[in-house]
């Protein structure tokens, strides 16, 4: 029962970690509604527990090397103080890391109990606070470049891309949750590992202390994800993660990779086996790695995109969190021991009035060799140089891109001019076609006119010969007959049948669509009525129509009246307007 009570502070810390850090993994996915919260919470919870159970031991071992808290009271106090610092700083919107809080708490406990702090372990942990974000930036820059190239090269349709992004968000989220569980379970349960020893039998299975603690810690993180992270995710993380889904994949994957590297025992053993410097197994702040990853993307997109105040926030977190947590732990341990009479250390009871200065000298053992420090410094310088080179390369590329853009604009301008010229050319062609048709019409008219002149001339010659013959005729009866015959011929010619036919043909040609519509709408019309309508459509008056139809104007009026009757027109309706509207 005592165990259950003391472990609650660790569970609270786990809950707080789950509630806050899950947003780093699924914040964008849920905030942008690409993944439903229920799916995210389920995947996150399962993979956090799996990560904690399968890969959480490495970081826990490192943390217990820093300061082996050997009583439940001490572990309870350290976890509680860390949880309070994390909660208060989150509430005050200050950058915070659970790992830094717990490290501060362990150092506070070490100071209070005069237990020596292993300086080399502390260096390793503090070094990881710097290298974590730098590695995050490095991975994210690489992954971002890779993803951008893939998206641009493949030209995937946005709808299909949406599906791929959803799947990628789920897969990277699962990996992120697994790495979070593996790396950060030490923050939650690391302080309890050396303070209790338990074995639980469950049927055929037997659980050791670490397995049990990791399982409970994993569940507390999962509970944090399930109960409180929705709010944080919907406001998109801690304000840091207002990203597009594409960028979120890169950020989450970078974060997961960094957390995985800093917690993988297999990788540690493998690198040691090869004789290479292994990556230390230490808990890293996922939020700070995310900030590092965002800065990495900023480097790729252009320096102007980097929010440099984020770097300041990280530095503030590095200082503020461990100091506050250590100070609070020191004070709380004093109260726990002297007021509540709780044992906070396996050593003899500590006198609070003792002078701490000589103890501090005993606590911190400076490292025997400085090789490791030099290695870390060399890596730092190498990464910095790589960044400078990357920036230089990027600037050159931007310059080249600007030149290419200018050239492309010039080519485009030429294209536009070409397009405009084509339009003008088309217009001219169209006009030419229209004019050619017009010319052809005129030519036909001219030919008809010339033929008419010829025909007329021939007719008049014949007429002149006939009249001359009649004039020379002596027989009056015969003379009269001949003159009468010529008169009939002249009258026949006056009907202008050919010309009228020609006029009809031309009028029908101009209004070919009208003629076809007329036949469809009024199939009962006679040829004569149809022709009258075509002439009216052409704007001829009754007076003008009468010589064409070879009838009197009065007859034209009668024909119009009959036409109105046939078309069922009312008295107030105008025949010409009606015809024009067809």
Partner 1 sequence: MFARANKSIELINKFLNCVDQSLLLFKDGVKNYLYRDQGNFASNLRSLANSEMESDVLRREIENTLYTQSLMPQLRGDIMRLLEEMDNLIDQAKKNLFQFDVEMPNIPAELIPDMIKLTQISTSAAESVIPAAKSYFSEPANVSEKIHRVYFFEKETDLLADVIRRKIFREMPELKLSEKFHLRYFTLHIENISDIAEKVADLLTIMAIKRTV
Residues in contact with partner 1 by CB under 8 A are 32-34, 144, 147-148, 151-152, 155-160, 162-163, 244-247, 408-409, 412, 415-416, 419-420, 423-424, 426-427, 430-431, 434, 512-514, 516
The residue among 220, 239, 251 whose CA lies nearest residue 98 is 220
Distance of CA 522 to the CA centre of its chain: 61
Q: CB of 531: closest distance to partner 1 in angstroms?
A: 20
Cα–Cα distance measured from residue 244 to residue 371, given in angstroms and rounded to the nearest whole number:
43
CA angle in degrees (0–180, nearest 5) for 521-526-530: 65
> Of 375 and 427, which has the nearer Cβ to partner 1?
427
Three-state DSSP class for residue 200: strand
Cα–Cα distance measured from residue 113 to residue 346, given in angstroms and rounded to the nearest whole number:
9
> Of 34 and 563, which has the nearer Cβ to partner 1?
34
Q: How many CA atoms lie within 13 A of 31 on its CB side?
A: 24
> Of 409 and 573, which has the nearer Cβ to partner 1?
409
The tokens describing 46, both together, are 């399962």
> Of 497 and 580, which has the nearer Cβ to partner 1?
580
Q: CB of 424: closest distance to partner 1 in angstroms?
A: 7
> Of 63 and 536, which has the nearer Cβ to partner 1?
536
Q: CB of 373: closest distance to partner 1 in angstroms?
A: 40
Q: CB of 547: closest distance to partner 1 in angstroms?
A: 27
Q: CB of 421: closest distance to partner 1 in angstroms?
A: 12
Q: CB of 160: closest distance to partner 1 in angstroms?
A: 5
Q: CB of 287: closest distance to partner 1 in angstroms?
A: 23
CB atoms within 10 A of CB 272: 11
> Of 205 and 416, which has the nearer Cβ to partner 1?
416
Q: How far is CA 301 from CA 29, 109, 305, in A?
A: 22, 45, 7
State which H helix or E strand residue 378 sits in: helix 371-472
The residue among 136, 74, 517 whose CA lies nearest residue 330 is 74
Q: Are 297 and 57 in contact (CB under 8 A)?
A: no
> Of 2 and 162, which has the nearer Cβ to partner 1?
162
Q: Euclidean distance between the first and final Cα of the chain, in Å?
A: 100
Q: CB of 226: closest distance to partner 1 in angstroms?
A: 22
Q: CB of 423: closest distance to partner 1 in angstroms?
A: 5
> Of 20 and 247, which has the nearer Cβ to partner 1?
247
> Of 66 and 297, which has the nearer Cβ to partner 1?
297
The tokens describing 15, both together, are 């809950």
CA dihedral 481→486→491→495, nearest 10 degrees, is: 140
Q: Are 59 and 283 in contact (CB under 8 A)?
A: yes
- Helix (DSSP H) and strand (DSSP E) numbers for the chain: 22, 4
């Amino acid at each position: 029962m005592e165990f259950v009570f003391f472990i609650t502070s660790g569970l609270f810390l786990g809950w707080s970690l789950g509630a806050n850090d899950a947003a780093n993994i699924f914040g964008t996915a849920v905030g942008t509604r690409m993944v439903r919260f229920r799916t995210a919470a389920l995947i996150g919870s399962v993979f956090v527990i799996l990560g904690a159970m399968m890969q959480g031991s490495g970081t826990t071992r490192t943390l217990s090397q820093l300061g082996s808290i050997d009583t439940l009271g001490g572990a309870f106090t350290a976890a509680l103080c860390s949880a309070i610092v994390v909660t208060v700083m989150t509430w005050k919107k200050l950058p915070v890391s659970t790992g830094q809080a717990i490290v501060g708490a362990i150092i506070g406990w070490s100071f209070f109990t005069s237990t020596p702090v292993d300086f080399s372990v502390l260096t390793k942990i503090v070094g990881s606070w710097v290298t974590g974000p730098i590695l995050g930036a490095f991975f994210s820059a690489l992954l971002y470049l890779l993803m951008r190239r893939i998206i641009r090269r493949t030209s995937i349709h946005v709808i299909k891309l949406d599906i791929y992004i959803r799947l990628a968000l789920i897969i990277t989220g699962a990996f992120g949750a697994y790495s979070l569980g593996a790396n950060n379970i030490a923050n939650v349960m690391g302080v309890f590992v050396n303070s209790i020893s338990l074995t639980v039998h469950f049927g055929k299975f037997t659980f050791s202390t670490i397995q049990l603690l990791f399982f409970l810690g994993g569940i507390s993180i999962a509970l944090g994800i399930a109960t409180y992270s929705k709010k944080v995710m919907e406001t998109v993380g801690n304000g840091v993660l207002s990203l597009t889904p594409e960028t979120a994949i890169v950020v989450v994957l970078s974060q997961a990779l960094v957390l995985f590297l800093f917690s993988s025992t297999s990788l540690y053993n493998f690198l040691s086996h090869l004789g290479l410097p292994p990556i230390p197994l230490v808990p890293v702040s996922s939020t700070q790695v995310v900030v590092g990853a965002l800065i990495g993307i900023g480097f790729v997109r252009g320096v102007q995109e980097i929010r440099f105040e984020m770097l300041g926030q990280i530095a503030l977190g590095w200082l503020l969190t461990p100091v506050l947590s250590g100070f609070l732990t020191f004070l709380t341990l004093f109260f726990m021991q002297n007021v509540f009479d709780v044992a906070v250390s396996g050593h003899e009871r500590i006198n609070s009035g003792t002078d701490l200065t000589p103890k501090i000298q005993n606590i911190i053992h400076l490292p025997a060799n400085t090789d490791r420090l030099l290695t870390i410094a060399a890596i730092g310088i190498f990464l910095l140089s790589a960044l400078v080179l990357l920036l230089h390369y990027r600037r050159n590329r931007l310059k080249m891109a600007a030149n290419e853009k200018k050239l492309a604009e010039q080519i485009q301008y030429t294209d536009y001019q070409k397009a405009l010229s084509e339009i003008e050319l088309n217009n001219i062609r169209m006009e030419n076609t229209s004019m050619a048709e017009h010319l052809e019409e005129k030519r036909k008219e001219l030919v008809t006119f010339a033929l008419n002149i010829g025909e007329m001339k021939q007719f008049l010659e014949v007429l002149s010969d006939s009249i001359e013959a009649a004039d020379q005729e002596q027989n009056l009866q015969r003379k009269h007959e001949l003159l009468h015959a010529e008169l009939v011929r002249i009258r026949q010619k006056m009907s202008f049948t050919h010309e009228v036919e020609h006029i009809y043909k031309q009028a029908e040609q101009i209004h070919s669509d009208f003629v076809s519509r007329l036949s469809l709408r009024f199939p009962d019309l006679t040829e004569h009525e149809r022709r009258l309508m075509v002439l009216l459509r052409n704007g001829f008056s009754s007076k003008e129509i009468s010589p064409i139809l070879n009838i009197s104007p009065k007859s034209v009026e009668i024909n119009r009246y009959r036409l109105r009757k046939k078309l069922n027109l009312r008295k107030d309706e105008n025949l010409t307007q009606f015809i024009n509207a067809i």
